Structure 1
Amino acid sequence: MPQSGADALPQHWQDVLPAARTRRGFLTLAGGGALAALLAACAPSAEDDASAGTTASATGPARRGGTLRVGAPPPPTALDPVTAYDGTAIALYQLVAEYLVWLDKDYKLVPRLATKWSSDATGRTWTFTLREGVTFSDGTKLDAATVKASFDRLLDPKSKSAALSAFDTVLKPGGVTTEGDATVVFTLERPFSDFPYLVSAGNYNAVILKTDYTGDFARHGIGTGPFTLTSYDVSTGAAFVRNPKYWDSPRPYLDGVDVRFYADDQADLVALQSGDIDAQFLSRPALVEPLGNGGGITVDKVRSTGVTVLTLRVDKAPFDRKEVRQAVAYGLDRPAVRQAAGSGLGDLGNDHLFAPLFPAAPTDIAQRTKDKAKVTDLLKAAGLKSLRFTLTFDPPNKDFAVTVQSQLKEVGITVDLDQRSSKEFYGGDQAKDTPWLFTTANLVGWAGRPVPSQFIIPMVKSDGVWNGSKYANKALDAAAEAYDAATSDAERRKQAEIIAEALHEDVPIVIAYWSGAARAYNSGRFRGVQAHPSQYVDFTTVSRI
């Protein structure tokens, strides 16, 4: 499911490929000091970031000028930063609007519209200081009241914001206040030490918009970002030009960005190979990996926390028996699944929600491997001579589903495939009968998150809004709360181990591998184009050769 929003659709409908994370270890609070202040102090400053950008890459200095032509699928959602959930729409508005905090390609917190942040001793009050001298592209000054209005809008249920679920149980309407023109204060419902990530690009709808924004972004795309939107056609593409009022001069180096929509991935790829476009927003690893950085095309790759989850309903036969769920988990050859469905990119999964890129990920839980004898013993312990079940999925996960079917057949488990259209799979009543949350077994692609709580809270907590397995474990719930409130590496690792061991043992979800992300581009014409673990777009340092 998407990074946030009960009304939003999942990663593959978004076309947002997985996200990676090699965030620095969790920093310990000194006495009653503020975690976020420490994080901000360790993150690159805006000044450092700007000076680093004077070269677009290690191969040469940045050169002013040029228009980058980018290919992308047509957005299935409206170009509205408040409600959009698909990868193309997100990439488009990220060229125009900015976040308080950006996430770089290893998920470090990078100051953008906020220059520093800190929490009080309780971890419930977070204070952000805004950058001075920032204006919107129409000349309107950025101030604290504008930031407050942006978050009030996201927190209002009437807005149907895709960001609502990210703030669930953490920040409620009325929780945002101001102190003068340059300070914004967030008062949380409970301690949440990763809160800066929820107002960063990690919560992709959390861009700052003007106070009077009414949802007309496609016609009046006004932001504080490096480019301004000059035209948009939902069928053909969009055009952007350099924002002359951008605060981070001399960036951007490009004169503009021209986005062209292609009906399918193959057409997008052909356009790149033929030179009709220079880069892609949403490269599919399976398609671009064979290019092998040849013919003038470079494929930048990163590890990720994106994941396709095999969800098993623990409240329905046959998966109401733990042994049956474990049998499915032991029936998979994980490296083979990764190769078949993920082009060999990414890290192996071990049936818990702490990707290897998460600093607190446990390292002492034995990696689960394919074991036919163990599958037989587990089914026998459950009183079954054989197992047959139906696996429901939508088209983007067909390769994954076929691979699971083939591998489980080898260990005596029969899987009937039930492919639905994406509209049907994610349609219906989200509280009662939508297939992705209520079928006995299904495959759901989740976009990468920068912090594990963004998986744990909605997916496996007892009251999780997207708990498709219907799993409930009070010990896990308590550990998840403690993890969010933890103020030291040691405490985080302790709670992470409790959560991971519970999931690994109970197997409400099976995770074969964590995906990788890629972005292909013409390195003979431009430098500085990079992949991002969440397929986010930052073209501020892209330069022509």
Structure 2
Amino acid sequence: MSKWGERSNMAITVNRRSILKSAAAVGALAVTSSSGLLPAIARDAAPKKGGHFKLGLSNGNTSDSLDPATYAQFMAVFGQSLHGQLTEIDADGNLIGGLAESWDVSKDAKTWTFQLRQGVEFHNGKSLDADDVVASINHHRGENSKSPVKSVVDVIEDIRADGSGRIIVNLKQGNSDFPFLVSDYHLVVVPMKDGKADVSGVGAGGYVLENIDFGVKATAKRFTNYWKANAAWFDSVEILVVHDVTARTNALTTGQIHAMERCDLKTVHLLERNKGLEIVSIGGTQHYTMPMLCDVSPFDNLDLRLAIKYAIDRRQLLDTLLRGHGQLGNDHPIASSNRFFAKNLPQREYDPEKAKFHLKKAGLADLKVSLSASDGAFPGAVDAAVIYQQNAAKAGITIDVVREPSDGYWDTVWAKKPWCISQWGGRPTADWMFTQAYAADAAWNETHWKNNRFNELLISARSELDDSRRLEMYTEMQSLCRDDGGAVLPLFANYVNALSRKVGHNKMASNWDLDGFRCTERWWFNEA
């Protein structure tokens, strides 16, 4: 067994030098404040306890639940307030210990042993033990699991407790990225009850559930026995769903909330003039997609998919939609900051003539298709669809933009309508992103794409320890997504949030939005 740290701080040191150094790329992303030049750092270096923090989110649904296997944006943020995971990703993109203080791995990367942190207590008074972790992870496994991370945990051959303070995980194939995977916001650790995971909202996080009205708001109060001494600064937190970006912005400027995500980039320059607010733009792995269902006509035709991909002006979208807050996408989900990014893969450009060429190969002189869009996917999604509509017209493609309601969009439209607009927060590793969204059996395979070569490479690259060989395989996989896949991926978008200057914070993480979804435990009020 190869040692990965006697203590959590030792695990950090070793991980920075190890094959898990891919997370360093996550921390090397652009972070700017409202000035556009300075790092987004705390205005008050000394965190203070106190106050009731209100956060406005753009998305939440009445179908949300406390079951981690169902978490989406609303519950992803609130769930991080209630729960913890075995590992975490810090603001610099490094993997650190969470409920696991250290871990070991065998030479073939197939057997992982996690040593649990001592003295961790759940909100119901129960002490954390290995059985809780096993039950929590098994909750996402099994033939009947509908969890979006089922494809991630399917790499597990077996998981068992080794005493009360240690778990042993045997994988089907070696996976050098496995400790990253257990940091996923779905894989929270909950207490075991009657042999199964208790998904009632009881956790070991910084805040205790008080009330929740799914799709509307949730409240929690600080957990006095939280194991982290320097976290969870607010007395209480409130997460509110405000779908409309104008209403969300008004709530911030009038002091009804203290922070909001997904600013309207058309008007963000006006917010920058408000001396009481800070605009934070963080470049990461977030990206926008227009997934076509590859098993539904007419998108089951490869040439038709290529025609649609050539019919979008990505540079216009970057300039007009994102106002420069992002980077061009190339129809695959691996960000340029990732160490396995295919830097030599030619950037696909807007080319109406090539689009016409592929339409002709598909046996068509022109095409009329519907694109479902909602600003519930991301702010400006409908505008993006309209711009696409205008671009595609020059290639003989008529796009009927169907404006869908924000409420229930992810349940009734996404991955169900033949062509729609989507958004991804991205994932810290290439394997994680591909496994969760592009593998043939992935629950969140939003295009229903199945490519045998891609899936063979996915398995091979996962257990490959030679980074140069992994780069070759991941480069080919990005090419397959680009040239065969069903996702139009035009942009990588910065996370653009607005905060009251009453809110203090340190450097923000870029692995997820809102400081890695951990804003409620990492932020504080400058004046309690």
5+ residue gaps, structure 1, are: 1-31, 45-55, 429-433
Residue in structure 2 matched with residue 401 of structure 1 by the alignment: 385
The one of 167, 177, 200 equivalent to 2:160 is 177
Q: How do residues 105-504 of structure 1 correspond to structure 2 at under 5 angstroms?
A: 105=91, 107-156=93-142, 160-168=146-154, 170-171=155-156, 175-200=158-183, 203-212=184-193, 221-234=201-214, 237-262=217-242, 264-280=244-260, 282-286=261-265, 289-290=268-269, 291-292=271-272, 294-314=274-294, 319=299, 321-394=301-374, 396=376, 397-421=381-405, 436-437=415-416, 439=418, 441-467=419-445, 469-504=447-482
Per-residue deviation, 1:359: 1.6
TM-score, normalising length from structure 1? 0.79
Contact 1:34 1:119 in 2 (8 A): yes
What residue identity is the alignment partner of 1:177? Answer: R
Q: Aligned in 2, Cα 1:314/1:112: closer, same or farther, shift over 3 Å?
A: closer
DSSP 3-state at the match of 1:83? helix
Of 525-534 and 468-477, deviating more is 525-534
| Aligned residue number for residue 537 of structure 1 | 518
| 1:470/1:293 CA distance change after superposition, 3 Å | same
Per-residue CA deviation, residues 334-356 of structure 1 (Å, 9 max, x unaligned), is: 12123444443222111223222
Q: Given the alignment, which residue of 49, 54, 62 partners 1:76?
A: 62
* SS of equivalent residue, structure 2 residue 345: coil
Cα deviations across residues 423-457 of structure 1 (Å, max 9, x unaligned)? 887668xxxxx873572x44333342222334423
Structure 1 CA distance for aligned equivalents of residues 444 and 133 of structure 2 = 29
Does structure 1 conserve the Cα–Cα contact (< 8 Å) formed by 2:135 and 2:197? no
Which deviates the most, 226-235 or 358-367? 226-235
The one-character-per-residue Cα deviations of 1:254-300 (angstroms, maximum 9, x if unpaired) are 333244454633322211101122123x4345377331263311122
Deviations 1:156-198 (A, max 9, x none): 5667544324323x126xx210112221111122222221122
Cα gap change, 1:542/1:332 in structure 2, threshold over 3 Å: closer, same or farther? same
Q: Report the more deviating stretch, 507-516 or 258-267.
A: 258-267
SS of 1:95's equivalent? helix
Q: Which moved more, 1:498-507 or 1:484-493?
A: 498-507
Offset of residue 88 of structure 1: 1.8
Q: Which runs of 5+ in 2 are unaligned?
A: 17-40
Counterparts of 2:115 and 2:181 in 1: how far apart (Å)? 16
Residue 467 of structure 1: CA displacement? 4.5
- The residue type equivalent to 1:95 in the other structure is S
1:364 offset after TM fit, Å?
0.5
Give the Cα–Cα distance (whole angstroms) in 1 for the partners of residues 208 and 102 of structure 2. 26
1:28-107 maps to which residues of 2 (within 5 A)? 33=2, 40-43=12-15, 57=42, 59-72=44-57, 75-105=61-91, 107=93
Tell me the distance in 1 between the aligned counterparts of 2:493 and 2:335. Answer: 10
Instruction: State the alpha-carbon separation in 1 of the partners of residues 164 and 349 from structure 2.
Output: 56
Aligned to 2:20: none
Q: Is the 8 A contact 1:483 1:496 kept in 2?
A: yes
The 1-side partners of 2:100 and 2:383 are apart by 42
The one-character-per-residue Cα deviations of 1:293-337 (angstroms, maximum 9, x if unpaired) are 633111222123233323345566655554443332222211212
Q: Distance between the aligned counterparts of 2:148 and 2:297, measured in 1?
A: 33
TM norm structure 2: 0.81
Change (3 A) 1:473 1:66: closer
Give the partner amino acid of 2:169: F
SS in 2 for 1:310: strand
Instruction: Indicate the residue corresponding to 1:15 in structure 2.
Output: none
**Partners of 1:473 and 1:238 in 2: CA distance:** 41
Q: CA deviation at 1:509?
A: 2.5
Q: State the Cα distance separating 1:465 from its structure 2 match.
A: 4.5
Aligned length in residues: 490
Distance 1:443 1:524, change over 3 A: closer
- 2:22 paired residue number: none
CA 404–328 in structure 1, closer or farther in 2 if over 3 Å, else same: same
Residues in 1 aligned to 2:275 and 2:438: alpha-carbon distance in whole angstroms? 45
Contact kept, 8 Å, 1:437 with 1:467, in 2: the verdict is no
Q: Do the aligned partners of residues 128 and 338 (structure 1) sit closer, same or farther apart at CA in structure 2, a change above 3 Å counting?
A: same
Identity %, equivalent residues: 24
SS at structure 2 position matched to 1:436: coil
Over aligned residue pairs, what C-alpha RMSD do you find? 3.4
Q: Describe the superposition over 1:69-117 as per-residue Cα deviations: whole angstroms up to 9, x where unpaired.
A: 3234655334414333232222222112111111234543221111122
